[in-house]
Structure 1
Amino acid sequence: MNVIPRQKPIFRFAPSPNGPLHLGHALSAILNYDMAREAGGRFLLRIEDIDQARCTPDFEAGIFADLAWLGLTWEEPVRRQSLNFPAYQTALQSLIERDLVYPAFLTRGEVKARVAAGEAGGNPWPRDPDGTPLYPPDDRARSNEERKQLLGSGLKHAWRLDMDKALSEVGGPLQWHENGDGETGDILADPSAWGDVVLSRSDAPSSYHLSVVVDDAAQGITHVVRGLDLFHATSIHRLLQALLGLPQPLYHHHRLILGEDGKKLSKSQGDTGIAEWRRQGSSPMELRRRIGL
């Protein structure tokens, strides 16, 4: 098992500047910072700004202000995904050359129609652990000649991992070591539950799954501390690490902060941000107590 050597531990907090940080982000950032200090390790900050349409300088400045108010310090320079697109393209190209990915041309509307048609007979369409329907097999079944013609026409496309070929390539079961707030110990990965995951889109040079494993390897991350909502996604990350020859960090998936509706906090739902708690007069210590630290 290709685990990162146990040298000086390196932790990271990796927010996206597409909205204000909320209490869930505060929990993750503080846990990473405190665990790094307790282990005599390093704490890094990474800005995950691949989505150039939604990520803004103002939100990024807000991240820095919120973390500084919480009393956290981090090493410079900060890694920004927008400055590392070539690294993701190199990783993707290696998978293309090994015929482990394929161009996917179906639009969202076409995928929705395929799913609806498939379920019309009463058979449920398979879904990933997040509840999203798996990608239809249409593009995977295309011949190389047909793919070349479609690519040559300039038709917009994504690149998707051929899950069956990828699993055959690694040749055996994958696992990761977990010491978080849910299931712990050596966890058996199940990448197949996600189907042919997208690794790159026409409007984004990399997906979260591809960029996060490339970034963690580039920064020498030894401990990944993040929310339980990403627990099952670790199966994809372990597969990509194995395919790309990248080291395997240790994982700690922590509890989530839930809103009054029982759902995890979300930027898109406008849940109260750290900056708003600050404006209301809360102190960093009061916020720590609010999130159970």
Structure 2
Amino acid sequence: MLLSVKVMTVEPVPRVLTVPAPEALLLHHAYGTNGIILEVELALAPAHQWIERLDVFDDFADALNYANACVRSPGLVKRQVALLATPIADYFSHLNDRYRAGQHAVISLIAEESEGLCASLLPRHRGSNAIRQASEEARTRNGSLMEYCWNHTTLHALKVDNTLTYLQTAFDPLRYPQQILQMEQHFAGEVMSHIEFLRDIEGNLTASGLQLVRYTTPERLNAIMQIFRDNDVKINNPHVLQVEDGKQGVIRPDVVAVKQSLDPAGLLNPGKLRGWALRDQLELDGNPLTRATRESPTT
């Protein structure tokens, strides 16, 4: 959770401001358009001894149901759960001698005291464990399985096949299991499901996708993204230049107002924020960061 951001303005005499949440979120994912970020304050959670697991499945639905059961089990303390459709795990050249090719995988980081529950769920979903390591092993010898999740997954795959590309998707918290299964079946290997489980800003359990795509043409890539949209899966398009055409989806006057406050000459990342060129047509808050505090200048 983001608590605050310390940011430097781009002005003849720069100011250093600490912006608390929720206003700090206006600086989040803005791609360097509206201030120079100096520090980020994040909330911490209790420390645990994590057990890192890679479990494998012959059936995608089994892997999905197992991952979802782990995510939705309140007594199972977890840091990370990722679902990888075949052949994604085959791209992991440092791991793939430890399981059969063509299997679906779930990577999880489970608190040591919760592993018994995790292990009891596995046979119910016809899975088996391929890799298990304690956090100390990950630090000192093997490397963490976290390095095979999120955008690291894409990078590992690109090392093996540089013709691949990827998507960024957001599923409906109320029906993400059905949507995930439907999309995996629809594309039949053209789009490979890489699903990360998380809580949204309201605290609801949901899923986000970083699917791998067998790229052919720009037209086909756009058609694939439209199929997701037509099935009520949001696309955060990573294949565009401007912020508004990706995750935000619309011009946000509040984000433009922050840029005007912190970068009044528009020097940072010019052209990246489409709303900046339209600022004279927008109703902008003249003081968008009302809770920000200014540091005293030092000599």
Task: Classify the TM-score, shorter chain.
Answer: under 0.3
Bigger-Rg structure (1/2): 2
- Structure having the higher helix fraction is 1
- Structure having the higher strand fraction is 2
Structure with more contact order per residue of length (Cα contacts < 8 Å, sep ≥ 6)? 1
